């Protein structure tokens, strides 16, 4: 129990105390919403026939959905890569008998991950980080915390050095599109992107009945949590501007 507490503290404390890139306020306009020549995004959102047609409460909600869509598009490839690397690491380690050779191989994989992913992941916002953590659970079937616990010889340093310094979130976050609104939005975005072929599909290890989940929602899109989040950010920005004027 004591050892588990120490491990948990090592993982969670840096997440609570660290800083991350903040989500920037989206500047919405009619131009952002309307379809331009050569831009098929909005058409595709409405013409996907195998999924329920989206139901937005307002034009503003469409913009928030598109904002969140960018976050999912940024995070998904990293979750796919993480899944592939974990599979490769586990398969290779199972064939290596020597402990010293296992450590050598793990260090090599770790170095690759750090060189290829660290700089990119550190540029993620908190929202993108949260989405990535959930997508890792979707693609690998295990939470980031569980993956670290099982493969901590190689992944510990990688995830501690990137996630802990950036996300300020729980590595135990799970993916539940059937019950959590944000996860439903992620699944909706992914399935439409797979149909559009704007994202390459990797079969998730987590059992997700995507079409049943999306059909149950009947295309309803709820982005109220993001509207509330940005409303707070705007208030903070206004307060800072007032303070500057007073000075």
Model confidence over 80-105: pLDDT tens digits? Answer: 988 998 888 888 888 888 888 887 88
Does the pLDDT value for residue 59 go beyond 70? yes
Which of 108 and 221 is assigned the larger pLDDT? 221
Q: How far is CA 167 from CA 17, 148, 209, in A?
A: 10, 16, 28
The mean pLDDT of the chain is 79
Does the pLDDT value for residue 152 go beyond 80? no
- Confidence class for position 144, pLDDT limits 50, 70, 90: confident
What average pLDDT does this structure show over 156-166?
Answer: 62
State percent of the chain over pLDDT 90. Answer: 43
What are φ and ψ of residue 24, in 5° steps? -85, 150
Does the pLDDT value for residue 40 go beyond 60? no
What average pLDDT does this structure show over 49-74?
Answer: 93
Characterize 120-139 residue by residue with b for buried, 16 or more Cβ atoms within 10 angstroms of its Cβ, and e for exposed: ebeebbbbbbbbbbbbbbbb
Which of 175 and 9 is assigned the larger pLDDT? 175
Question: What is the reported pLDDT for 64?
Answer: 96
Does the pLDDT value for residue 4 go beyond 60? no
Does the pLDDT value for residue 2 go beyond 50? no
Q: Where are the domains of the chain?
A: 40-246
Question: What is the reported pLDDT for 1?
Answer: 41
Does the pLDDT value for residue 21 go beyond 70? no
Say if residue 38 is exposed, middle or buried (CB neighbours under 10 Å; 0-12, 13-18, 19+).
exposed
d(CA 173, CA 177): 13
- Confidence class for position 247, pLDDT limits 50, 70, 90: low
Question: What is the reported pLDDT for 72?
Answer: 98
What average pLDDT does this structure show over 174-193?
Answer: 98
Q: What is the 3-state secondary structure (H, E, C) of 63-90?
A: HHHHHHHHHHHHHHHHHHHHHHHHHHHH
Which of 53 and 48 is assigned the larger pLDDT? 53
Residue in the structure block whose two tokens are 């993108």: 128
- Confidence class for position 219, pLDDT limits 50, 70, 90: very high
Q: What is the pTM of this model?
A: 0.77
Question: What is the reported pLDDT for 203?
Answer: 95
Residues 137, 173 contacting (CB under 8 angstroms): yes
Does the pLDDT value for residue 37 go beyond 90? no
């Amino acid at each position: 129990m004591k050892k588990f507490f120490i491990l948990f503290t090592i993982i969670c404390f840096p997440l609570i105390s660290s800083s991350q890139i903040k989500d920037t306020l989206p500047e919405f306009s009619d131009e952002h919403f309307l379809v331009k020549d050569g831009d098929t995004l909005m058409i595709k959102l409405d013409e996907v026939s195998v999924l329920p047609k989206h139901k937005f409460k307002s034009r503003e909600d469409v913009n928030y959905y598109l904002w969140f869509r960018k976050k999912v598009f940024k995070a998904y490839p990293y979750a796919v890569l993480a899944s592939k690397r974990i599979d490769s690491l586990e398969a290779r380690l199972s064939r290596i008998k020597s402990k010293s050779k296992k450590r050598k191989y793990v260090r090599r994989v770790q170095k690759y991950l750090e060189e290829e992913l660290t700089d990119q992941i550190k540029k993620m916002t908190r929202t993108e980080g949260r989405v990535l953590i959930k997508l890792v659970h979707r693609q690998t079937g295990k939470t980031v915390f569980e993956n670290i616990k099982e493969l901590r010889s190689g992944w510990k340093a990688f995830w501690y050095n990137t996630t802990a310094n950036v996300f300020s979130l729980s590595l135990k976050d799970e993916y539940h599109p059937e019950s959590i609104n944000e996860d439903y939005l992620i699944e909706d975005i992914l399935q439409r992107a797979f149909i559009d072929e704007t994202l390459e599909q990797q079969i998730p290890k987590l059992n997700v009945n995507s079409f049943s989940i999306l059909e149950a929602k009947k295309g309803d899109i709820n982005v109220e949590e993001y509207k509330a989040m940005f409303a707070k950010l705007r208030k903070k920005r206004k307060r800072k501007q007032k303070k500057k004027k007073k000075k």
